Amino acid sequence: MNKDMLKSKLQNFLVFISLAMLSCCYAEKAVEVYETRCGNLEAPVGVSKDKLIFSWKIKAEKQNVLQTAYHILVSDDLNELNQNKGILWNTGKVESDASIQVPYDGKPLISAKKYFWKVKVWDNHGMESDWSQPAAFVTAMFNEKDWSDAKWMVYEEMPESLRMVPGIHGLRRDFKERVEVLGQKRYVTPYFRKEFTVTKKVKNAFIAVSGLGHYELSLNGEKISKSFLAPGWTQYDKTCLYNMYEVTHQLQKGKNVIGALVGNGFYNINTERYIKFAITYGSPTLICKLKIEYEDGTEEVVVSDESWKTDKSPITFTSIFGGEDYDANREQAGWDIPGFNDNKWKNVLISRGPKGKLKAEMDHPLQVMEVFDDPLIKTPENTFLYDFKQNASGIVKLKVKGKKGQMLRLHPAERLEENGLMNQKTSGTPVWFQYTLKGEGEEIWMPKFTYYGFRYVQVEGAVPEGYPNPKGLPVITELQSLHTRNSSPAIGSFNCSNELFNRTYELIDWSVKSNLSSVTTDCPHREKLGWLEVTHLMGNSIKYMYDIYNLYYKIVFDMMESQTKDGLVPDIAPEYVEFTQGFRDSPEWGSSSVILPWYLYKWYGDTQAMKKAYPMMKHYIAYLYSKADNCILDHGLGDWYDLGPKGPGSAQLTPISLTATAIWFYDVKLLSKMAAMLGNKKDATYYKTLAEKIRVAFNDKFFDEKKKLYSTGSQTSYAMPLFMGMVDEKYDREVRVNLAKSVTKNNNALTSGDVGYRYLVQTLQESGYSDILYKMNYRSDVPSYGYQLEKGATSLTESWKAEGFSHNHMMLGHLMEWFYNGLGGIKQSETSVAFKDIVIEPEMVGDVTSCSTSYDSPYGVIGCDWKLSDNNRLTLNVEIPCNTTASVIVPLIKGQKVLKNGVELNANNYCMMQKAGKNKAVIEIGSGKYEFLVISK
């Protein structure tokens, strides 16, 4: 090799190395945009005007990265967007750190049209990101006139005389005679079909549909989505949700067919089998509009009208409560594909339709989220029973062989009798799924318009494969449990060295998953109603685990539509049935109407909910004021299911007036803040003054200054006024000490109920008593999660002893919040919004020597991973997302030092604080990954 060639190769190598080093340097410094969202959804189809809101996250290898500016482009043409042309909205460079809740402010958008957008950002180090990958969104039907050609269709019209709204509760004395008016009428669960022709090349196609109670939609024989029980349930006289789907690639040239199957849901509850209440808005009904945009620029629509055909489906019975029956002999092969002969079908009837207005559903749909396919098969008393080992909301999936006309029943249950047979007594009975075979090889079936909470399935009229079958019964080749729930993404994780706490986490998680649907239910079987205390009391736990922004936004509107003329927000929303006394009017329940809009702001930065809900909140506060006596309320359920001498139920240890008045004060305090935020200065002053009046009246009635005692001295009596900020500052520390004593003198056992427990957990933690929380929950006697686990529970039970009560209840799960913000140490500062200003403060208690926690916040993943070893050596790994800052708080005793990423911090790098007599170091950091060591000097 000559010298010139060698020199040339060396030069090329040096250039390569230089470029590589430059690339590495740039990669380290570069800022990148990811997880672009519109309406908090990825590439959503059917975005309503109020949810045309953009958000994104940013990441960088470099530490201490803050966004300083952004630039958004929106276009209706992807190719032009890629060239920065055809722009409907060009923000230019906006000097702002906003990366969430950025509202669209461009040219007017058209209904049912696809748009594209992208964003780039600048950071505080002078770095400019590349444009994000283009993201798409499709607008909803913005105006009522967009539906003008589409009509509600039915198989059969229900006479107006049979309409029963609101529903009738099964415990009412007149229930039987009122329901007898309905008789045993089973409205047909209908098929609908429409054949049409596509003659040109399709550019875009979107279909909007609502089927009440619920529908399943197909195009050319293929299901359009994985949704279950769509659309979400609402107060149908006020709002009916619809869904939109893109079907561009499912349309084919020539003949096409839209097929739909519509079931009852909460729109019409059959009066057979188990029901919590009876209600009927009408018979199953469907409205639909398909919009096709062709490549040549022309458009065509296919709407629900008199030209559609309908017939009976194989579903012969369906009830949201009682189960579902299916006769496979009534199947019509090919009914939803082109070429099917529908001459024997009848034309649809055009219905008056529901009274509610159509509104785009923006929540995550319910879907099958997990499958349990490895059951134990037991044979109690010559009966076959499948044990799926997990109590969960859902349905079954059956695979079976047999003869034509043979019928089997599947009885779901969450408990067993002593003899091993299924027990539905606490979950609603009778409930079953029934299948009649057509006798054509292996048949596969699953219910479509019902669900239940169950662990076990008892079989009637069939035999599992491999078992003796002398009677020639149908043979079940496979039976699965399909867990259905709201598909809100999981965004949190927790694991620690204490196995009981890990199992407790799973226990609570399953009760949460099983009760996230179109509302937050209390149980997935007996009631399935949106009890509102669950929503706000468990919300702070759930928000760490799942992205519930869209769900909670929807619930705010449910409450607005359920509010009565006099201002009451009832205990359930939607209010399908009017309960009585505290079961309809309990401040601890109705207060969700004020607390939820505030939470949506604090958790996600949303201000739209409080703007829209402001009249509701004012009206509710005025309603409570009208019921107060000298600013003291005295009605409701109180600290539901507290642990007193009697069986569980209404409050026993804490006066109802204390919990009702305390939460009313909290409502008024929050409303004063929201009024100020919305620019209503007069209201803000009024509510601030009212809050102080309530606080003074509360302390006059309940506080003993000499003993520093609140009311009965129950755990809830102390915890609520402390949490709400009702205690005079000069007494605060002594009251907190008395709270701790109220627990320790009771052998660290819990006595608070469903309402007080959340405030007890958080107040003990805030007061520096996480060690008491540890002792309270690291046990296996009553009351404890350990007791439930020892008794075989796989989801939270309704009461601690669980005898005679639901075994899947989203209630009393408030320790989950402590797992994240106590042991896990992830929380935000008091003034922070959407975790913009993070606090990392893990609690090291008991025998817990390590804990790993993460939470994917609106700005990105927050991580806290700590481990304690010999000589109080603490290793703490922290991850802070870009565009946020954090305070890291670690215990620091005399003779110890703190290292950050291997470098010792001196006293100028942190400040000291005391909490419950413990010294802690507070270290301020920016985004990035850090390792902190607290070790001996």
The pLDDT assigned to 181 comes to 54
In this predicted structure, the answer to whether residue 802 has a pLDDT above a threshold of 80 is no
pLDDT of residue 19: 40
Its pTM stands at 0.95
The reply to whether 367-485 shares the fold of 144-318+330-363 is: yes
pLDDT above 90 for 740? yes
Supply the pLDDT for residue 116.
98
Average pLDDT for 693-722: 98
Backbone phi and psi for residue 918, each to the nearest 5 degrees, phi listed first: -110, 140
CA 810 and chain centroid, separation: 12
Tell me the C-alpha distance between 227 and 363, whole Å.
11
pLDDT tens by residue, 6-32: 344 434 433 343 344 444 444 455 899
Q: How far is it, in rounded angstroms, from Cα 400 to Cα 831?
A: 59
pLDDT the model gives residue 907? 80
pLDDT at 170: 66
The whole-angstrom separation of Cα 228 and Cα 232 is 9
Tokens 């964003």 — which residue?
119
CA triplet 356, 360, 362: central angle to 5 degrees?
A: 130
Q: Assess contact for 92 and 72: CB atoms under 8 A.
A: no
Beta bridge partners of 47: 139
Average pLDDT of 783-798? 96
| CA–CA separation, 167 and 271 (whole Å) | 11
> What pLDDT, in 10s, does the model give residues 48-85?
999 999 999 999 999 999 999 999 999 999 999 999 98
Q: Where are the alpha helices (DSSP H) in 605-655?
A: 608-627
Q: Is 60 in contact with 927 (CB distance < 8 Å)?
A: yes
Whether the upstream peptide bond of residue 647 has omega within 30° of 0, thus cis, is no
**pLDDT score, position 153:** 98
* Contact of 163 with 285, CB cutoff 8 Å: no
Q: How far is CA 613 from the centre of its chain?
A: 20
Separation CA 909–CA 463 (nearest Å)? 71
pLDDT at 917: 74
Q: Regarding beta strands 45-47 and 135-139, do their DSSP bridges make them parallel or antiparallel, or are they unpaired?
A: parallel
Residue 741 has pLDDT above 80, yes or no: yes
**pLDDT tens, position by position, 655-696:** 999 999 999 999 999 999 999 999 999 999 999 999 999 999
The pLDDT of residue 679 = 98
Q: Is the pLDDT of residue 3 over 60?
A: no
CA distance 215 to 228: 8
Range with lowest mean pLDDT among 22-26, 98-102, 263-267, 513-517: 22-26
pLDDT on residue 675: 99
Per-residue pLDDT band at 182 (split at 50, 70, 90): low
Of the candidate CATH numbers 2.30.140.10, 2.60.120.260, 3.30.565.10, 3.40.50.1390, the domain formed by 367-485 belongs to: 2.60.120.260
pLDDT at 692: 99
Q: What CA–CA distance (Å, rounded) separates 36 from 81?
A: 16
> How far is Cα 213 from Cα 261, in angstroms, rounded to an integer?
11
Q: Using the structure block, give the residue that is written with the tokens 């409502």.
A: 667
Q: Looking at the domain covering 492-823, what would its CATH class be?
A: mainly alpha
Q: What is the CATH number of domain 839-936?
A: 2.60.420.10
Q: Give residues with Cβ within 8 angstroms of 453, minimum separation 6.
A: 391, 392, 393, 414, 427, 514, 523, 524, 525, 795, 806, 807, 808
Is the alpha carbon torsion for 330, 331, 336, 342 positive or negative?
A: negative
Q: Is the pLDDT of residue 392 over 60?
A: yes
Q: Around Cβ 928, how many Cβ atoms within 10 Å?
A: 18
For 25-96, strand residue ranges (E) read 31-38, 45-47, 53-60, 67-75, 87-90, 94-95
Q: Pick from 662, 682, 818: which is nearest to 750 by CA?
A: 818
Position 278 pLDDT exceeds 50:
yes
CATH of domain 10-139: 2.60.40.10
What would the mean pLDDT of 100-122 be, rounded to a whole number?
98
Dmax (CA) for the chain in angstroms is 107
Question: 47 with 360: CB under 8 angstroms?
Answer: yes
Q: Above 80 in pLDDT, residue 419?
A: yes
Render pLDDT for 836-881 as a digit per residue (tens, 0 to 9).
999 999 999 999 999 999 999 999 999 999 999 988 899 999 999 9
pLDDT, averaged across the chain: 94
The percent of residues in the chain predicted with pLDDT above 70, rounded, is 95
Kindly report, residue by residue over 541-578, the tens digit of the pLDDT. Answer: 999 999 999 999 999 999 999 999 999 999 999 999 99
Domain extents in the chain: 10-139, 144-318+330-363, 367-485, 492-823, 839-936
pLDDT in tens, 878-932: 999 999 999 999 999 888 999 999 999 988 888 888 877 789 999 999 999 999 9
Whether pLDDT at 177 is above 80: no
Task: Quote the pLDDT of residue 909.
Answer: 82
- Is a pLDDT exceeding 70 seen at residue 129? yes
Nearest 5°: phi and psi at 770? -65, -25
> 144-318+330-363 has which fold?
Jelly Rolls (2.60.120)
